[in-house]
Chain A
């Protein structure tokens, strides 16, 4: 098949390269479909998937029987199965759900029961004393807790990148800077109008995250949900703070708020967050001093020793929440169109499972493909702390970002390698450059020099990547 033919004759067009779109692209490609991923941003993971807590959830607290619960369980299992082959990190931290008040303590048995209902059988109750034994830095007033041993920490960016990379290595195509503006279904195929011209595919999968409802409207004329972005702000402590805890510390959720999580990151930091704030803006996740100060205070209430540690980074993300609790997955009869919307707060965990579910949904009306004879397993360069890093190897060309130990070779690879980054945001997510304690004080100049030829060629201005923060 000629390249031209491939490009114009897709089986599947996935709109959106968030974690969900990346996982779906991988799934369908490995099933044998010819897939195009269409993303409006210059780089992947520029929407909801840009910023999250990076926890690989078990789904222990998901509503039993929900689509979400089953996707998380399947996604968790699949990640464990494939992460080593793709070179993706897994930090087997486990989690503690901690009760700080009597009211919360009374809710623990109910939550443990729900966990078992969700197939998470290995939860275990701990008294205050046992909790302290496991996590000595916790504040005195712990009432009780239970463990969720298989809640893990992963790398929120290399995971979806790995999924898409495997899709690409097996024949998928990605179009970036390629906003979908509209489209028509002629009874056989879709013709999508994008800013880069028309793209034709038999089936369209809407994985547009924070724009899921808008894409539904544009392509099918209606939508069954509306996105109500919910902001989550985080503060990130410098690396020494991560030695204070071993587990992910989860709060007991109540009806008002899910509460504040304390969690190590794959990069060796400690994060405290998120908030949950409804807003209309789908683009900007603005930080607020009050929220950041409140997180700092809450963090110190949970782990008093945090008072002696520095916050080095802050960020905020937007959850694609809707008026519904569950995921919004709809196959539109006779339209060759599947909506994968409202993946609000567990998409990183569920993505691989969601992708499997979408393939099953597809098979209900579409035909199976011919899987490729051999499957390629590309490996992602590691940026997580507990695994070997490039700076430890010969020929790394020296370190550019001193705080996160990002080498010149890693940056060059991100700029020139597969799915080369085209924006400073993309470069940060791929390499972590500038995301450490100095936030660009030392390396902005060197990075600007290295990236200028690449990003200018892609149409970005110097100004947009010179100021790194």
Chain B
């Protein structure tokens, strides 16, 4: 796809300038999108397709494309481009499609704060500026949870990285940080780490999973075996050892034995968290359970001029899912600009009861005939659970479906389980059957 590369290159110098003079002296746009990942770019492209005049995407990285930029492996692009692509090629295609649709993308621009208006404070090489928009889409994605936030004990040598950091080092800078690391976690992204290792001739010494089975399903069955990497289930990573670089780790095996593994690095993978930093200090309501903003079925935040899509909504989905969500929420923003969305005031809250459901998105439903952008409730469970998924509205309880669920797998229920004009609070609960 030479076209996209050229456009990207042509886009380069403009990026370096950050915001300076790029969209008029008043720094205004109809829609400003924060984050040039799959969700943000899909929304931007869709907004232009719907005829919205000025659509601007801002991203703090030097290059647009989001996380896939450094995921130099498959599978990306099936849903969007009907072909199997590696992350970087996929990211370039998304950028090219947005530029071709007339979206303006500015990189090296970091959003610092959000206030009603909507007014954004942004910073770039030009210093601090204020940007006005009619609507804002926040699509800042998700990141993995650090070693620190997981309270993993031991010393703090170099060579302890998340998958995202590893892939950045490898694919963006050509650095091989270690040769024999331990991989903690068995989510999809953990297998992405294995692929990256293989690409560089790095031989992980083990993959460690505290749970009784791998979190991700399809690659877990064969990938470690093919690569000859021991998969240690029901095993905890206790401490990391080493002074300037990792020298080993201690682990607790299922029988309680504590063992030491020699390793020169640790890949601390998964446990995604929405990158909601700019929301923390804003007026927009956050959901403790997802870690992202509270949204309605249009992806609208508690301030209806702000929308959200992609992995910011919840940890964690694929790029294709985020793209689809971005596109749908982009469409809803166009409708909102035309005054076609119902007001937020009449909505009902969607809540969870019991211990096994971890989160639900959307957290608010507004009764309306306008088709939703998010057409199903998305759930995750915090532990393996089996039972009936029940819904209570104003004291009346019904069974939605029976469910057998494991962590980090998609659980969807169409929004149509709700009555046409619900009132009060809708509470979902997974009533576990006795085991």
Q: In the complex, how many angstroms separate the beta carbon of B348 from the nearest chain A beta carbon?
A: 24
B243 at the interface (CB under 8 A from A): yes
User: In the complex, are the beta carbons of A467 and B151 less than 8 A apart?
Assistant: no
- For chain A, the count of residues having a C-beta within 8 Å of the partner chain is 54
**Contact check: which of A289, A292, A440 meets B146 at CB < 8 Å?**
A440
User: In the complex, are the beta carbons of A466 and B158 less than 8 A apart?
Assistant: yes
Residues on B with C-beta less than 8 A from A283 are: 243
Residues on A with C-beta less than 8 A from B168 are: 442, 444-446
User: In the complex, are the beta carbons of B148 and A439 less than 8 A apart?
Assistant: yes
Given A391-B123, A394-B125, A397-B125, CB of A239 within 8 Å of CB of B280: yes
Q: In the complex, how many angstroms separate the beta carbon of A218 from the nearest chain B beta carbon?
A: 22
B127 at the interface (CB under 8 A from A): yes
User: In the complex, are the beta carbons of A394 and B165 less than 8 A apart?
Assistant: no
A370 at the interface (CB under 8 A from B): no
Using CB atoms, name the residue of chain B closest to A312.
B149
Q: In the complex, how many angstroms separate the beta carbon of B123 from the nearest chain A beta carbon?
A: 5
A310 at the interface (CB under 8 A from B): yes
Q: In the complex, how many angstroms separate the beta carbon of B220 from the nearest chain A beta carbon?
A: 23
User: In the complex, are the beta carbons of B146 and A286 less than 8 A apart?
Assistant: no
Using CB atoms, name the residue of chain B closest to A435.
B148
Q: In the complex, A239 Cα to B280 Cα: how many Å?
A: 9
Q: Which of B130-138, B171-179, B379-387 contacts A (4 or more CB under 8 A)?
A: B171-179
User: In the complex, are the beta carbons of B60 and A462 less than 8 A apart?
Assistant: no
User: In the complex, are the beta carbons of A398 and B143 less than 8 A apart?
Assistant: no
Using CB atoms, name the residue of chain A closest to B170.
A445
**Contact check: which of A285, A392, A403 meets B123 at CB < 8 Å?**
A392
Contact flags (1/0) for A277-306 with B, using CB distance below 8 Å?
Answer: 000000111111100110010000000000
User: In the complex, are the beta carbons of B125 and A396 less than 8 A apart?
Assistant: yes
A393 at the interface (CB under 8 A from B): yes
Contact flags (1/0) for B217-243 with A, using CB distance below 8 Å?
Answer: 000000000000000000000110001
A448 at the interface (CB under 8 A from B): yes
**Contact check: which of A402, A444, A448 meets B60 at CB < 8 Å?**
A402
**Contact check: which of A393, A448, A469 meets B169 at CB < 8 Å?**
A448
User: In the complex, are the beta carbons of A286 and B277 less than 8 A apart?
Assistant: no
Q: In the complex, A288 Cα to B173 Cα: how many Å?
A: 33
Residues on A with C-beta less than 8 A from B155 are: 284-287
A197 at the interface (CB under 8 A from B): no
Contact flags (1/0) for B265-299 with A, using CB distance below 8 Å?
Answer: 10000000001010011000000100000000000
Residues on B with C-beta less than 8 A from A440 are: 146, 161-162, 165
User: In the complex, are the beta carbons of A466 and B153 less than 8 A apart?
Assistant: no
Given A397-B125, A399-B110, A466-B175, CB of A441 within 8 Å of CB of B151: no
Residues on B with C-beta less than 8 A from A335 are: none
Q: In the complex, how many angstroms separate the beta carbon of A243 from the nearest chain B beta carbon?
A: 9
For residues 411 through 459 of chain A, which have their beta carbon under 8 Å from a beta carbon of chain B? 424, 437-442, 444-446, 448-449, 452
Given A397-B125, A441-B164, CB of A286 within 8 Å of CB of B158: no
User: In the complex, are the beta carbons of A467 and B177 less than 8 A apart?
Assistant: yes
Using CB atoms, name the residue of chain B closest to A460.
B244
- For chain B, the count of residues having a C-beta within 8 Å of the partner chain is 55
B62 at the interface (CB under 8 A from A): yes
Using CB atoms, name the residue of chain B closest to A281.
B155
Residues on A with C-beta less than 8 A from B70 are: 445
User: In the complex, are the beta carbons of B151 and A314 less than 8 A apart?
Assistant: yes
A176 at the interface (CB under 8 A from B): no
B417 at the interface (CB under 8 A from A): no
For residues 107 through 145 of chain B, which have their beta carbon under 8 Å from a beta carbon of chain A? 108, 110, 112, 123-128, 143-144
Residues on A with C-beta less than 8 A from B146 are: 312, 437-441, 469
Q: In the complex, A289 Cα to B112 Cα: how many Å?
A: 33
Residues on B with C-beta less than 8 A from A260 are: none
Using CB atoms, name the residue of chain A closest to B146.
A439
B160 at the interface (CB under 8 A from A): yes
**Contact check: which of B108, B128, B165 meets A441 at CB < 8 Å?**
B165
B152 at the interface (CB under 8 A from A): yes
Residues on A with C-beta less than 8 A from B159 are: 463-464, 466-467
Residues on B with C-beta less than 8 A from A315 are: 156
Q: In the complex, A314 Cα to B165 Cα: how many Å?
A: 19
Residues on B with C-beta less than 8 A from A293 are: 151
User: In the complex, are the beta carbons of B151 and A464 less than 8 A apart?
Assistant: no
Q: In the complex, how many angstroms separate the beta carbon of A133 from the nearest chain B beta carbon?
A: 26
User: In the complex, are the beta carbons of B246 and A462 less than 8 A apart?
Assistant: no
Residues on B with C-beta less than 8 A from A446 are: 62, 168, 172-173
A313 at the interface (CB under 8 A from B): yes
**Contact check: which of A286, A310, A391, A452 meets B149 at CB < 8 Å?**
A310
User: In the complex, are the beta carbons of B164 and A462 less than 8 A apart?
Assistant: no
A323 at the interface (CB under 8 A from B): no
Residues on B with C-beta less than 8 A from A403 are: 277
For residues 230 through 250 of chain A, which have their beta carbon under 8 Å from a beta carbon of chain B? 238-240
Q: In the complex, A403 Cα to B110 Cα: how many Å?
A: 11
User: In the complex, are the beta carbons of B162 and A424 less than 8 A apart?
Assistant: no
Given A437-B277, A448-B169, CB of A467 within 8 Å of CB of B148: no
Q: In the complex, A468 Cα to B148 Cα: how many Å?
A: 11
Residues on B with C-beta less than 8 A from A464 are: 157-159, 244-245
Q: In the complex, A129 Cα to B268 Cα: how many Å?
A: 46
User: In the complex, are the beta carbons of A442 and B153 less than 8 A apart?
Assistant: no
User: In the complex, are the beta carbons of A469 and B161 less than 8 A apart?
Assistant: yes
User: In the complex, are the beta carbons of B243 and A284 less than 8 A apart?
Assistant: yes
Given A287-B154, A466-B159, CB of A448 within 8 Å of CB of B110: no
Q: In the complex, A445 Cα to B61 Cα: how many Å?
A: 12
Q: In the complex, A370 Cα to B407 Cα: how many Å?
A: 72
Q: In the complex, A66 Cα to B379 Cα: how many Å?
A: 62
User: In the complex, are the beta carbons of A288 and B153 less than 8 A apart?
Assistant: yes
Residues on B with C-beta less than 8 A from A311 are: 148-149, 151
User: In the complex, are the beta carbons of A445 and B125 less than 8 A apart?
Assistant: no
B260 at the interface (CB under 8 A from A): no
User: In the complex, are the beta carbons of B158 and A468 less than 8 A apart?
Assistant: yes
B87 at the interface (CB under 8 A from A): no
Residues on A with C-beta less than 8 A from B275 are: 438
Beyond A446-B168, A449-B173, A466-B177, list 8 extra A-B contacts (CB 8 Å).
Answer: A289-B153, A308-B288, A314-B151, A441-B143, A445-B70, A463-B245, A466-B169, A469-B161
List 3 A-B pairs, minimum CB-CB distance, nearest first.
Answer: A445-B168, A439-B146, A467-B159
Q: Could you write out 22 A-B pairs with CB less than 8 Å apart?
A: A238-B280, A308-B288, A311-B148, A312-B146, A314-B151, A395-B125, A399-B123, A402-B277, A437-B277, A439-B147, A439-B162, A441-B143, A441-B144, A442-B165, A444-B161, A445-B165, A448-B173, A452-B175, A462-B177, A463-B245, A463-B264, A466-B161
Q: Measuring CB to CB, which residues of chain A are less than 8 angstroms from any residue of chain B?
A: 238-240, 283-289, 292-293, 296, 308, 310-315, 391-399, 402-403, 405, 424, 437-442, 444-446, 448-449, 452, 461-469
